Amino acid sequence: MQNPRLLVFGEALTDMIRLDDSHWLTRAGGSCWNVARVAARLGIATGFAGSISNECFGEEIAQQSAAAGLDLRFLQRSDKNPFMAVVHQTQPPAYYFLGNDTADLAFQIELLPPHWRESLHVAHFGSLGLVREPLASQLLALAMELKQAGVQISYDPNWRNVMGPDYRQRFETFLSIADWIKISDEDLAHLLPELPLDLALEQVIAWAGDAQILYTQGAQGLRLYHNGQVDFIAALPVTVVDTVGAGDASMGGWLSSLLAFPARSPQEHAQFAAATAATVCQYPGAYAPQLAEVNSTLAGH
């Protein structure tokens, strides 16, 4: 079996979404897992390197991982309880997390398959995997090690309400080592609340050095910062059913384009990222599109 070119490290979880006073909906999710699933469905040899539970919620994540074409050798299983996000309000979103000693924290780097670094081009990190200990410190050390070994580092902070003031140092560190960074206007507003958005973005660019930065602004489109240039990509006009997972989709689409089509221009990579997000917005939940669907979205606009 071909080793992955892209490995995504972090969390997979189950969203428990309140529909009304007596009805709840559960969905497999997690920012990092969503990124991995999107990349795999777009044809990139991808592994999700994380740990999930052995019960029904973990089994759903495992089944969807297999359906997306993820390399299941990197998906670890644990007898610990599942990691859950309780979304008790959707408009505007309000949520909290359940679990201080759950399956996601049981991930062990030493249990990854033999020779897993062979063929690896990009390692992606972000979101809750860089907050919850002891996983967060392990992943930071691993990212530093992979960077030294020549692996390209991808980073999406994907702000969550458990990222307190102590997350700032980790945020700066990942910006300084990453080659590819996606960050949203919402992320900036929460991670650098003392600065207006334009100055916060300037600070991120300064910390990021030579990294390419994909700055997403929802319906206002996205901007790619690279080599002192800025490319603006307008949001594609589609019928929006749900924006859940759109940010993760843009990240997965961007990485997929970079890996599959290295001859494309930076602007073309950003356009593909925007088209991936637009495709996902036409479906409920964190949908993972196939390549033909994204190409169709591109062709239609």
The per-residue pLDDT for range 195-231, each reduced to its tens digit, is 999 999 999 999 999 999 999 998 888 999 998 899 9
* 301, pLDDT greater than 80: no
Q: Is residue 61 part of a domain?
A: yes
Structural domain of 138: 6-299
Q: Is residue 272 part of a domain?
A: yes
Q: Is residue 187 part of a domain?
A: yes
The pair phi, psi for residue 195, each rounded to 5°, is -120, 145
Q: What is the mean pLDDT of the chain?
A: 92
Q: Is residue 291 part of a domain?
A: yes
Query: What is the model's pTM?
Result: 0.94
Burial profile 187-216: b = 16 or more Cβ within 10 angstroms, e = fewer:
bbeebbeeeeeeebbebbbebbeebbbbbb
CATH of the domain at 162: 3.40.1190.20
Structural domains in the chain (count): 1
Q: Is residue 1 part of a domain?
A: no
